[in-house]
Amino acid sequence: MNPRTIVVVGAGQAGGWVAKTLRAANFSGCIVLIGEEMHPPHERPPLSKAVLAGEAEAASTYLFKGDEFVKLELDFRPGTRAVTIDRAAKRVVLAGDEAIAYDKLFLCTGGAARRLAVPGGDGPRVHYLRTIADSLAIGSRLSEIRHLVVIGGGWIGLEVAAAARMRKLSVTLIEGLSRLCERSVPPEVSAHLLALHRRNGVEIVLEEGVKAIDDGERVAVELASGRRVQGGAVVAGIGLAPNVALAQAAGIAVDNGIVVDDQGRTSDPDIFAAGDVANAPLACLGRRVRLESWANAQNQAIVAAQAALGGDARYDELPWFWSDQYDMNLQILGLPARWPAPVVRGEPAGGSFSLFFLDDGRIASVVSVNAPRDLRAVKKLIQTRKPVRAEDLADPRIQLQRL
């Protein structure tokens, strides 16, 4: 039976793409888009970059421009939380008790910034960054203070540190592990990030745990070593917890996110999930992953929306991620489970280079720093698993496109 009402919980990037894709596929039934935030669907990357640096308005992050959103003719419910799914009756219950019947349901609930589990971790000047409201609150705090303490040397922490430096604040960044972005880049790139931030005046403290935060006249972060780092405010970027409570309470399979197949279908065939909340199999990697990236939120949502209307496309995109800090653009294609010795192309000391990670004579992944063309050129080689010679990759006289 063709669906007549499709309900989408979560009006972020994935939720927005589900709605757009359904209409693009000529679905003329009712689409109810339920979003806890007050904003229409939007993209988050600028929230730690241009919006935080004061260079772009929050509204510039909206996914739909001009009258595009109105033309989708959605029943959009901003500022509304979905609290229960009644799978037997196929209804979603909203805060306030209104129940909405669905034929197909999408869970695009993303995730929430992890909180510091230390005394003072929820103090008024301790900030976390996920939403537009968070970014605006941090932005206005940055205009009041002179020194910022950042906890966490992952992507969010590093981008916040860079934005704060661009706003002329002094910054101390504290990371518990021995190198920056340890879980997502190889040691060579961590070293590059460390040098980049130090060159831009950020004090970076590695291998230091946070014991407590004292939100007194000034905020003081108490470290495991006994050192106290003072500042006007703290921003903690310590990871994301997927928003699975709704699915879990409804008895849908959950394991590091909502478990879906390669069409975004959950353990209930009428319920789909996409974006940061979904744990999906990727044939190109040969394993399940839950990705937190812009490209995944968009492309997985497109496939899932098509599947809900009977389409047979499968989601199998190579993971792609980027970060911008100061004048550096970094991109990662692929998701290696380990970091063997890379083939280096370009000049790490000169600030523009790519690292290729080979597996059995084939490129498994690439990390490019200020070299986006290298990454684009080898995408096809990775997808087709074509054998390559390390000498060719490393030789700047050989055009990668010709391989």
**Chain residues 105-134 in contact with ligand FAD, contact rule CB under 6 A:** 108-110, 129-130
Q: Which of 50, 344 has the CB closer to ligand FAD? A: 50
Q: How far is CA 369 from the centre of its chain?
A: 19
Should residue 275 be labelled a site residue for ligand FAD when binding is judged by CB under 6 A? Answer: yes
Q: What is the C-alpha separation between 102 and 91, in angstroms, rounded? A: 6
Should residue 37 be labelled a site residue for ligand FAD when binding is judged by CB under 6 A? Answer: yes
Scored b (16 or more CB within 10 A) or e, 375-403 reads bebbeebbeeeeebeeeebeeeeeebeeb
Residue 370 three-state SS: coil
Burial of 353 (0-12, 13-18, 19+ CB in 10 A): buried
* List of residues 6+ apart from 310 with CB closer than 8 A: none
Q: Which of 194, 246 has the CB closer to ligand FAD? A: 246
Binding residues for ligand FAD, rule CB under 6 A, total 36
Q: Which of 9, 388 has the CB closer to ligand FAD? A: 9
Report yes or no: 371 and 353 within 8 Å, Cβ to Cβ.
yes
Should residue 247 be labelled a site residue for ligand FAD when binding is judged by CB under 6 A? Answer: no
Structure-token pair, residue 364:
């498994």
**Chain residues 178-207 in contact with ligand FAD, contact rule CB under 6 A:** none
- Of residues 6, 9, 31, 307, which one binds ligand FAD by CB under 6 A? 9
Segment interacting with ligand FAD, rule: CB under 6 A, options 36-44, 64-72, 335-343, 351-359 = 36-44
**Residue owning tokens 């084939």:** 362
Segment interacting with ligand FAD, rule: CB under 6 A, options 194-202, 249-257, 287-295, 393-401 = 287-295
Sort strands 320-325 and 328-333 into parallel, antiparallel or unpaired. Answer: antiparallel
Taking every pair of C-alpha atoms in the chain, what is the biggest distance, in angstroms? 66
Segment interacting with ligand FAD, rule: CB under 6 A, options 3-11, 189-197, 341-349, 386-394 = 3-11
- Of residues 53, 63, 126, 156, which one binds ligand FAD by CB under 6 A? 156
| Degrees, nearest 5: CA angle 44-50-54 | 120
Interface ranges with ligand FAD (CB under 6 A):
9-15, 34-37, 44-45, 47-48, 81-82, 108-110, 129-130, 156, 243, 246, 275-277, 292-295, 297, 321-323
